[in-house]
Chains A and B, each alone.
Chain A
Amino acid sequence: MISQERLDKVLLKVEKPARYIGHEQNIYTKEKSDVKATFAFAFPDIYDVGMSHLGLHILYNLLNEENDIYCERVFTPWVDMEEQMRDNNIPLYSLESKTPIKEFDFVGFTLQYEMSYTNILSMIDLSDIPLETVDRGEDDPFIIAGGPCAYNPEPLADIIDFFVIGESEETILKVMRKYIEGKENGLSRKEFLESIVNIDGIYVPSFYKVDYNEDNTIKETIPLKEEYPIKIKKVIQKNLDDTYFPKKMIIPYIETVHDRVILEIFRGCTRGCRFCQAGMIYRPVRERSVDSLISLAKELIEVTGHEEISLSSLSTSDYSQLETLVTSLISEFKDKKIGLSLPSLRLDSFSLEMIQEIQKVRKTGLTFAPEAGTQRLRDVINKGINEEDLITSVRDAFGMGWSTVKLYFMIGLPTETEEDLYGIKDLAYKVKEEFFNLPREKMKGSLKITTSASCFVPKAFTPFQWYPQDTIEEFKEKQDYLKSIIKDRKITYNTHDAKVSFLEAVFARGDRKVSQVLIEAYKNGAKFDGWRDQFKYDVWMDAFEKLEIDPHFYANRQREYEEILPWDFIDIGVTKQFLIKENEKAQKGELTPNCQVSCSGCGITKDFKGGIC
């Protein structure tokens, strides 16, 4: 245990020291001697970001409700704290009991975005645990990982001992039970891994060998033993009402990114946007009932005292009982001055009454995501909305007193032309016109339109997984073009760093060879790559060069349908044939209807029953 006196010496030298003190309300405190397994839930970013993540709160409480398991939390220390820790020989420690991470049985990382991968290395390193699986010994913890990015686990194959693919509520408990059993029977590290390798959703990269073709594409993935599974099937929770949801949540002392109660209303999405990985990997759609959501909301507000409830899902408007839910939440909490935020509202089913209802209590910002500038391109990506819908919604919103609007777009989408880029500007200007078309007395506040255009990153398990990403130069040209045509005081134009998106593309579709690039870049100072002021592009390029690995092979190469992709061995339920069909339809600008309208035969109903689709 790291003593408080040791920490006191450094805490006043760092920004926001409360990130590192633990002791928040609603944490679990257990004696190590009372438990049989310890688990460090590791979020590879700073506390402020990690504490906003719903998955942390779910797994933390789920594991801790087991009497013989102790789950604690750890986040990436910000650079100032890392420096203090290194200078004072303080190893990375858990927030609850201040135990060095090296002493845990498991360190479980959640993979939310590729650009956090070097933070995983930084945390392993600060814990004094070997960076690579092969170097870890019997006394080291198991380094495990799950979350959306685990659907292509290969870039972390040399670093992570095993992955949990899919929704991990049940899998993680099975693993912990096996571990406790194995510990009593004195199983070795390898024997334990063998004891869990056949649990659905478990992937142990070191149990497989990958052979490559001469052109560096994958020839074959070979299990080292016959009993190791060839396909790894994702796991889902079939019924969300029966699925664990925490009755309490830790209350952070400092302001976090999402400082509110998060209610998960459903998983999955029926829209089928062709660029969206979440829309494919989280299928099928499964909803929580209004009754259970209301009672959860009551309990969570009571134990946290938060002033806002946020409904979490991929596309809030698609919740079948949304109106009932919102009305009930508002009548329940209005008098307590608790606000409601509905992120991810689709503009086509944007409901006027609902917004008005929310506005009665607290007004939150408005974000629209047309994603592309023209109808043609929106059809290509299957974003089934049209300009009229958007304009109508914006007009209504302005009429009700809003004056701040954010518009999200992507550049570099398949088949994009200059016309599509111009369409981004065009749409932003049309939104502006709507504001000034209002009668003077209805214009409230000062109009502010923020237009953000991010660089498209093709992801695994999407219809665009074969597609080459634009080069950094192409992105820059497009960004410059947009900058030159969007010239209005009322409209702010934001871009994303194309270099970051390029690296994201490498690791989103990388194979296990890029593991070593991560390690090399980390050793030369790469970390917090998702933070603009910390990102060191040159360090990455040096690492690729030194290891003779071509990043463009992963980011900018057109793949053939026949190619074995690094993530092909994972079964998400949606078939490759469906993804191919969707990609073909994209090229022709053909729409695929929402699954609620008609089934497009993606394959999910075959093995994963329980969805409403």
Chain B
Amino acid sequence: MAKLRVKFKKDSLIRYISHLDLMRLFQRAFRRANIPVEYSQGYNPQPKFSLATALALGLTSEGEYMDIEVVEEISTEEFTRKMNEVLPEGVKILKANYTEDSKSLMALIKWSSYIIELELLEGTSKEKVLENISDYLKQDEILITKQKKKKGRIVTREVNIREGIENIELLLLEENKLILKTLLKTGSNGNLKPEILIETLHREGLNINNEEYKIHRLELFTEIDGKKVAPI
């Protein structure tokens, strides 16, 4: 038995497909591509594979990862070719490597980089946008209210999301189109959704349309000796 670590992209119309439906899509693709995937035991055997994180419906990505357990080793080239033959347009295997890593991808992932395309509501200068962003990042605390249901009661608590933001870069500003690149915490030890970043940027004075935007994930990162590196 061996473990394949695979990088893939999810874009175009496939962004309208939920995480669970994507899992089912892969299950069928393994079968159609004749990949010797390991199955769980029991009455309802399931193929053994796991995705690093769940990409929210509506987002595109060129940096998604999964681990697949296979019964026998097939070459990574063969795996990639066979899978890409059967996958629909919009999902594509980009890279595959065998790994000895016993840790799950889910536990490894610490950061995500995103590209966010926003619409500026009124003509704002580049300087103003830069100032907004730098003011936003200067804060030690950016609070949001989270709601949780506890025993039928709604409990609200304040959460500081500042720690979840590593950086925000301005990539492009053209007429009313604004493109940002950002690195946000992802995974079980703190997770910041890019939608919340957009919401708080809007709240803190950046004059953007906070209802319609595009978010694209570029890459997932783990940390090795304090350095952020891609899983493969």
Mark each residue of chain B from 82 to 123: 1 if its CB lies under 8 Å from any CB of chain A, else 0: 000010111000000000000000000000000000000000
Contact A25 B88, beta carbon cutoff 8 Å: yes
Question: Which residues of B sit under 8 angstroms from A303, Cβ to Cβ?
Answer: 32
Stretch at the interface among A251-259, A288-296, A367-375: A251-259
Q: How far is the CB of B214 from chain A (nearest CB, A)?
A: 9
Of chain B, the residue at the smallest CB distance from A251 is B28
Stretch at the interface among B38-46, B140-148, B166-174, B183-191: B38-46
User: In the docked arrangement, what's the CA distance between A378 and B32, Å?
Assistant: 46
A24/B88 contact (C-beta < 8 A), A9-B212, A17-B57, A363-B43 known: yes
Contact A362 B44, beta carbon cutoff 8 Å: yes
Question: Which residues of B sit under 8 angstroms from A183, Cβ to Cβ?
Answer: none
Most buried by A among B18, B31, B47, B86: B31
Question: B132 contacts the other chain (Cβ, under 8 Å)?
Answer: no
Contact B39 A23, beta carbon cutoff 8 Å: no
Interface residues on chain B, number (Cβ under 8 Å):
27
Contact A253 B21, beta carbon cutoff 8 Å: yes
Mark each residue of chain B from 161 to 201: 1 if its CB lies under 8 Å from any CB of chain A, else 0: 00000000000000000000000000000000000000000
Q: How far is the CB of B36 from chain A (nearest CB, A)?
A: 11
Contact B21 A337, beta carbon cutoff 8 Å: no
Question: B24 contacts the other chain (Cβ, under 8 Å)?
Answer: yes
Question: Which residues of B sit under 8 angstroms from A306, Cβ to Cβ?
Answer: 28, 31
Q: How far is the CB of A138 from chain B (nearest CB, A)?
A: 36
Q: B17: which of A12, A18, A25, A363 is its contact (CB, 8 Å)?
A: A18
Question: Which residues of B sit under 8 angstroms from A302, Cβ to Cβ?
Answer: 32
Most buried by A among B16, B29, B47: B16
Of chain A, the residue at the smallest CB distance from B89 is A23
Question: Which residues of A sit under 8 angstroms from B14, Cβ to Cβ?
Answer: 253
Contact B13 A21, beta carbon cutoff 8 Å: yes
Question: B25 contacts the other chain (Cβ, under 8 Å)?
Answer: yes
Question: Which residues of A sit under 8 angstroms from B13, Cβ to Cβ?
Answer: 4, 21, 23
User: In the docked arrangement, what's the CA distance between A304 and B32, Å?
Assistant: 7
Contact A305 B58, beta carbon cutoff 8 Å: no
Contact A363 B44, beta carbon cutoff 8 Å: yes
Of chain B, the residue at the smallest CB distance from A22 is B13
Q: How far is the CB of A19 from chain B (nearest CB, A)?
A: 9
Mark each residue of chain A from 305 to 336: 1 if its CB lies under 8 Å from any CB of chain B, else 0: 11100000000000000000000000000001
Question: A11 contacts the other chain (Cβ, under 8 Å)?
Answer: yes
Q: How far is the CB of B49 from chain A (nearest CB, A)?
A: 13
User: In the docked arrangement, what's the CA distance between A307 and B17, Å?
Assistant: 20
Q: How far is the CB of B59 from chain A (nearest CB, A)?
A: 10
Question: B50 contacts the other chain (Cβ, under 8 Å)?
Answer: no
Q: How far is the CB of A39 from chain B (nearest CB, A)?
A: 24
Of chain A, the residue at the smallest CB distance from B47 is A337
Question: Which chain A residues in 9-52 approach chain B with CB under 8 Å?
Answer: 9, 11-12, 16-18, 21, 23-25
- Cβ-closest 8 pairs across A and B: A305-B28, A305-B32, A305-B31, A17-B16, A363-B43, A12-B58, A18-B16, A253-B17
A–B Cβ pairs within 8 angstroms, 23 of them: A4-B13, A12-B58, A21-B13, A24-B88, A251-B28, A253-B16, A254-B21, A259-B24, A301-B31, A303-B32, A304-B28, A305-B28, A305-B29, A306-B28, A307-B27, A307-B28, A307-B31, A336-B31, A338-B31, A359-B43, A362-B43, A362-B44, A363-B44
Q: 11 new A-B pairs (CB below 8 Å) besides A253-B21, A254-B18, A259-B24?
A: A4-B13, A9-B212, A23-B89, A253-B16, A254-B17, A301-B31, A305-B28, A305-B31, A305-B32, A337-B45, A337-B47
Chain A interface residues (CB < 8 Å from chain B): 4, 9, 11-12, 16-18, 21, 23-25, 251, 253-255, 259, 301-307, 336-338, 359, 362-363
